[in-house]
Amino acid sequence: MKLLQLKNVTKQFGGLMAVDNVSFDVERGSIFGLIGPNGAGKTTIFNLITGIYKVTEGEILFEGIETNSMQPYRVAELGITRTFQNIRLFKKLTTYENILTACHYNVRYGLVDAVLRNKRFKAEEKGLLAHAEELMNIMGLEDRRDVIAGNLPYGLQRRLEIARALALRPKLLLLDEPAAGMNPDETARLMTLIKEIRDRFNLTVLVIEHHMDLIMGVCERIVVLNFGKKLAEGTAGEVQANPKVIEAYLGEEEVVVC
Ligand SMILES: Nc1ncnc2c1ncn2[C@@H]1O[C@H](COP(=O)(O)OP(=O)(O)O)[C@@H](O)[C@H]1O
Ligand SMILES: [Mg+2]
């Protein structure tokens, strides 16, 4: 069964068709790319998948379950987490504290256990601390452990955001322009890292990118959006050679993404 399915999804804002009859399936365990020029509807699709917005028409299925009418917290409980195009962190907490607070979202001990600091509480706390350390190491943040998040270089703030998303132990990780603001070298390293975390955590990753070349090497399958519509779908090679895609990207080189 496909992990995620979008079936004829449409999202209208007043007269604007932000997403127009888009369908695609995301295979479990894959790294799937969603690309397209600015304003193409990419972030709107993330907002629909996570339940922030409701679809105007069509349906979204996660593990075969229709999520259309679910509240965002219910969708998150199913195992979908995301990062944002504009970084969202606790800017005044340290790297480690940011990860640890995210780890605390999925504790199973109750208030009574916490107050009594009983065996169940201690065992779970130990697990959480270990998980936070592990995520910090994987994302290459261990030597910035006590640095205030707001003072981290931009590229590391992006990595910290991914670490926080991973702390929720998702099945599906949605990354909205994770390489925005990074130089080519940092971007290449991030893409390798995305493959590593997919393998290590048995994840499925859906990644939005504005610049096509950045994710060509990392995605097994790609959907290209333009003006809310699906323009093309296929492997990196297939979409890159598609004349419609080339046309949509002509003149895009000058665009600065932030
Ligand atoms: N909440 C909203 N209200 C009205 N229009 C919106 C809203 N969110 C997005 N849009 C519009 O939908 C279109 C797609 O936006 P978006 O999904 O953010 O594009 P992308 O992420 O591909 O750059 C844009 O024209 C944008 O202005
Ligand atoms: Mg966007």
Q: For ligand 1, say whether the CB of 13 is within 6 Å of any of its atoms.
A: yes
Could you read off the pLDDT tens digit of each residue along the chain, which spans 258 residues?
Answer: 799 999 999 999 999 999 999 999 999 999 999 999 889 999 999 999 999 999 999 999 999 999 998 999 999 999 999 998 788 899 999 999 999 988 876 666 666 666 667 777 677 777 788 889 999 999 999 999 999 999 999 889 999 999 999 998 999 999 999 988 888 888 888 899 999 999 999 999 999 988 776 678 899 999 999 999 999 999 998 998 899 888 887 655 544 444
Among 106, 201, 102, residue whose Cα is nearest residue 149: 102
User: Which tokens hold the place of 236?
Assistant: 């990196």
Q: For ligand 1, say whether the CB of 174 is within 6 Å of any of its atoms.
A: no
Q: For ligand 1, say whether the CB of 38 is within 6 Å of any of its atoms.
A: yes
Backbone φ and ψ of 152, nearest 5°: -70, 150
CA dist., res. 90 & res. 150, Å (int) = 8
End-to-end, the C-alpha distance of the chain in Å comes to 36
Pocket test for ligand 1, best of 6, 10, 16, 34 (most atoms within 8 A of CB): 16
DSSP label of 3: S
pLDDT at 108: 63
Sign of the Cα pseudo-torsion (143, 149, 154, 157, in order): positive
User: Which tokens hold the place of 105?
Assistant: 């979202």
CA torsion angle 248 253 255 258 (round to 10):
110
45 CA → ligand 2 middle, Å: 9
Residues 6+ apart with CB under 8 A from 218: 31, 33, 191, 194, 195, 207
Neighbours of ion ligand 2 (CB under 5 A): 42-43, 85
Backbone φ and ψ of 37, nearest 5°: -60, 170
Q: For ligand 1, say whether the CB of 36 is within 6 Å of any of its atoms.
A: yes
Whose Cα sits closest to atom 8 in ligand 1? Answer: 44
pLDDT at 256: 46
Residues 6+ apart with CB under 8 A from 29: 198, 202, 203, 204
For residues 67 and 83, the answer to whether their CB atoms sit within 8 Å is no
For residues 103 and 132, the answer to whether their CB atoms sit within 8 Å is yes
DSSP label of 37: S
Q: For ligand 1, say whether the CB of 43 is within 6 Å of any of its atoms.
A: yes
Q: For ligand 1, say whether the CB of 154 is within 6 Å of any of its atoms.
A: no
Give the tens place of pLDDT for each residue, 17-28: 999 999 999 999
Q: For ligand 1, say whether the CB of 40 is within 6 Å of any of its atoms.
A: yes
CA dist., res. 74 & res. 227, Å (int) = 30
Amino acid at 182: M
Q: Which domains does the chain have, with CATH numbers?
A: 1-70+204-258 (3.40.50.300)
Give the tens place of pLDDT for each residue, 100-133: 988 876 666 666 666 667 777 677 777 788 889 9
Q: Determine if the pTM surpasses 0.75.
A: yes
